[in-house]
Every structure is written in C-alpha cells, then in structure tokens.
Structure 1
C-alpha cells in the first residue's frame, strides 16, 4: 500500500490522499469503484522524480463521507482544487482514470492556468451512453436496496474492470473481495457519488477550452470504455495524442503497470 497517507478538510469533511516524492506535482484521480491505491505502481515509479498526490474520491477508499452540498462532478473538481490550494501547490499535472478524468477536465475548465498537462486513461468526458446508464443504475439499485455490494455484483463489476478474455483471476478476485468488504455505512455515499459520475454533464462541448498538453490512453480490451470514445476525445482536443494499450482493460494501471509508467515518463519528459 502507498505510504504517507494524509487528509485535508473540505466543508468539514475529511478528504484522504497520499503524498509521495518531490518535484513537479502529479495528481492522480482514480475511477469509479477504485481508490488511491490503484496507482501504487505509478506512484512508486514516478515519485523518484515527481511529487505524486493520489486522492480518494468521495465514497471511495478511506473517504466515508461527502460534503452535504455536493451536487455533481463540478463540485468535486472544486473540492480537489481547494485541497491543492490548501497544500499551496500552484501548478500540477493531472492523471485521470474513468470518472477521475471527467473531474480532471472540470478542474482544467475551472482553473486552466493551474493545470500543466492532462492524461486521460480509459475515460470519456462526454455524456454516458444510455445503455451504460441503464446497466449502472441497476448496480446502484442493488447497492441502495441491500446497503452492500453483494458478492454477485462485486464479481460482475470486477470482471468488467479487466481485459476481456485474458484476465488475471487473482486481480479479479482481489477487487471483488475489496468491493464486498465496503462498509454498509459507506455504501450510500459511494452510491451518491456514482450517480454523479454516471449522469455527468457533456464536457465534450467545451473541449476547445482544453488547450494544454493532453495524452489519451485506452486499453484495447476495455469492457467499460471504447476505443472510439478515446479517438473522439483525442481528435477534438487540439494537440492531444492517443495511445492504444494492447492486452489491457479498464484497470490498465494494474494490468500493464510498466507500459503505463513508460507512457507517463515519456509524456512528462516532453513537457
């Protein structure tokens, strides 16, 4: 697990994060149903040359609460920007995975001068396709009714997180167990955040404002996001580059850590 676990305070609620290394700051934002520890391999590698801040999103990891007035990912972006301001960090790079990339995009839109570069891993910042919304809403209904992530649902989610047809069963089982172990008091917070992530706004309409160096990475065997979505983002964001990652699914940072580390290293060397 990552060391140097800390917490900030946003609207009287603790926001947990890890802080490792020194140098230019890289902020790492995980996606739905993950937590800050998903970046362990990247933090261990990058913290030799950078200061890496991996944040638990509300309802995930050590965050058992959420500020009462939180309505959407725009508010969450404001919370993370506030945390970084409290840490007196003037500028930073962001790596966003899944809905973490949508939050990262909102941070760029709010304060473009603070974000030096953006990496979006297995993400889409447009509207969630209706077929996905229906599926994810069924998951939330089960969570809200049972006040848990049932073993069946945990297995369903975990299986979809990894590369189609070539999964490491140990990784799948490990994630499934983590999801099953989430405390019943945390489930309503996780569900509330997930609703915001699923029904997020379409920031593809605002991509002309994303004028910073951008890298889009997509796992070719991703079962939750499509190569087409990543192509659309990289095509619409001026100067963005797109990389297809073979043999990788949604949690590519766990499945292919060396490849992700190499991509990030080369990207930051170019900045």
Structure 2
C-alpha cells in the first residue's frame, strides 16, 4: 500500500483503478478490508482511494494535533492535496461519514457527490457515549481487548442474526485481538473517545447539496439505527436507501446490494 506522511505520521491508503475519484471512508475498528467488494466493483470504472484510519491496518499512530473529527477531515483533504486530486465522490461509512460530511461542508468545491452510510451527524446519545467510554476504560486498564469484551464489541457491527461461526464474523473478532497495547493506548482508545464525544452538526446538513447526496443504512444497524438516517435524509432533502439483511458494516453484509446502489448513484453524479 502507498503511504503519505500527514501531521508527521504515515497514512497508508489503497489507490486502485482509473477515472473519476471515489474516496472511501472506513468504520472505526475496520481496515480497508471492509471495502473489498466495493473496491473490486468500483475500480473497474473509477479511481478508488481508501485511507486507513490512524492506528488501523498499516497506518501510523494518531498524530498529536488530532483533537476532533474536523482534524480527520483536514487530514483526508491533505491526502487529496498530496495526490493532486481536485474533486472526489465521497462514500463514508460510520466515522468515515462523520468526517466525510465535515470535509464536504468545509470544502464543497472538492466534492462531486456524497454518500453517507450507516453514520450519524448528531452527537452520540449520552447513554451510549458513557457505555462506550466504559469499554475504552476497560481496554485501557487491560492494555488489550479482553476475551469477554470481544463478544460484546464484535456483535455491535453486524445484524443480530449473523452466524457467529461465519468467516466475516470470525475474521473481525480475530482482528480485534491483533491490536498491540501500544496501538490501543496511542490510537484506538483516543480515536474512539474523539468519535463518541463529537459535536452535533445536524443543523449544518441542509448546506449539503440534496441533488448530489445520498444516505444509506443497513435495515438492522444497531449502533446507527435507520431512524438516524431518516432524520439526516430529511434535513438534507435527499434520498434514503435502506439496505436489507445488513447491520452496521453493510458494505460486507450485503455487498451486491451496496455495489449496485453505489454504481447507480455514481453513474448519475460522478
């Protein structure tokens, strides 16, 4: 994977295909693997760029000047500048949508279109914020993700009925065990706290272009339920697509449906 140095740290990214650029923003605790089916489908017609989150995959630790989602948006913009990319079609899932929307609002001239997937631009509800912070404290104290926590965290990302013996589920569960103490303490936990203490920017959503924005959500997404996506689509005035048989990582749970929806949308807007 190529690497860019941003805020003094190495940011690894995938750069595949040619044509109009599609920038894919990933979920917390997932590497670029979460987009494997989309990279394959989209790179036939588009240049697909997928940066790895700090502390994830091969990317370096969270840079010191990273205090908010606005900083993640600024860093993604710095990557585009280094690659001399003027405009992108941005597809962000979960935290990828959180910083992606901020990038689109801060630099609308750089954006052709935006797809917000399984994400929410409001603040984290206080009850879930406190819950996630308690998990971060347990991880911090243990210097690892303890075995019992694996069975708490992994199911959050999938539809309730997923087969826990499936390769998709097991591979993700194993990936949670692979983080070193250093990665967890320097990047994963601080990045998590930054994500879940984010500011509410729902009032800014009407500033997004309703004609070139799409909201998508897994019908069975638990952490980012469809009601949140409905609220955002209404504020933007754009279309909403609910993804059947999918939870939070809809790109992997129903890749064919997601690919078709993205290809259809991009054919009209890229």
TM range (shorter): over 0.9
**Correspondent of 1:85 among 81, 92, 113:** 81
User: Which segments of structure 1 move beyond 4 Å, counting only runs of 4 or more?
Assistant: none
Work out whether residues 11 and 60 of structure 2, in 8 Å CA contact, stay in contact via their aligned partners in 1.
no
Q: TM-score, normalised by structure 2?
A: 0.96
Matches of 2:70 and 2:176, distance apart in 1: 26
Aligned position for 1:175: 172
Aligned position for 2:189: 191
Work out whether residues 21 and 46 of structure 2, in 8 Å CA contact, stay in contact via their aligned partners in 1.
yes
The yes-or-no answer on 1:155 pairing with 2:154 is no
Please give the per-residue CA displacement for 1:46-67, whole angstroms capped at 9, x wherever unaligned: 0000000011111222223121
The yes-or-no answer on 1:47 pairing with 2:43 is yes
Aligned position for 1:10: 6
Matches of 1:160 and 1:67, distance apart in 2: 27
Matches of 2:49 and 2:148, distance apart in 1: 33
Quote the offset at 1:168 in angstroms. Answer: 5.3
Work out whether residues 26 and 93 of structure 1, in 8 Å CA contact, stay in contact via their aligned partners in 2.
yes
Secondary structure in structure 2 of the residue aligned to 1:54: strand
- Figure out how many residues of one structure are paired with residues of the other and give that number: 266
Q: 1:113 to 1:208 in 2, by over 3 A?
A: same
What pairs up with 1:108-123 in 2 under 5 angstroms?
108-123=104-119
* Structure 2, gaps ≥5 residues long: none
The yes-or-no answer on 1:266 pairing with 2:254 is no
Work out whether residues 32 and 98 of structure 1, in 8 Å CA contact, stay in contact via their aligned partners in 2.
yes
Matches of 2:136 and 2:248, distance apart in 1: 19
Quote the offset at 1:70 in angstroms. Answer: 1.1
**Correspondent of 1:209 among 189, 207, 210:** 207
Secondary structure in structure 2 of the residue aligned to 1:186: helix
Q: CA RMSD in A?
A: 1.1
Quote the offset at 1:214 in angstroms. Answer: 1.0
Instruction: Name the one with the larger helix percent.
Output: 2
Aligned position for 1:22: 18
The yes-or-no answer on 1:233 pairing with 2:232 is yes
Matches of 2:131 and 2:114, distance apart in 1: 29
Secondary structure in structure 1 of the residue aligned to 2:45: coil
**Correspondent of 1:76 among 72, 77, 99:** 72
Q: 1:220 to 1:167 in 2, by over 3 A?
A: farther
Secondary structure in structure 1 of the residue aligned to 2:56: coil
Aligned position for 1:131: 127
Matches of 2:190 and 2:248, distance apart in 1: 22
Quote the offset at 1:100 in angstroms. Answer: 0.9
Matches of 1:142 and 1:64, distance apart in 2: 23
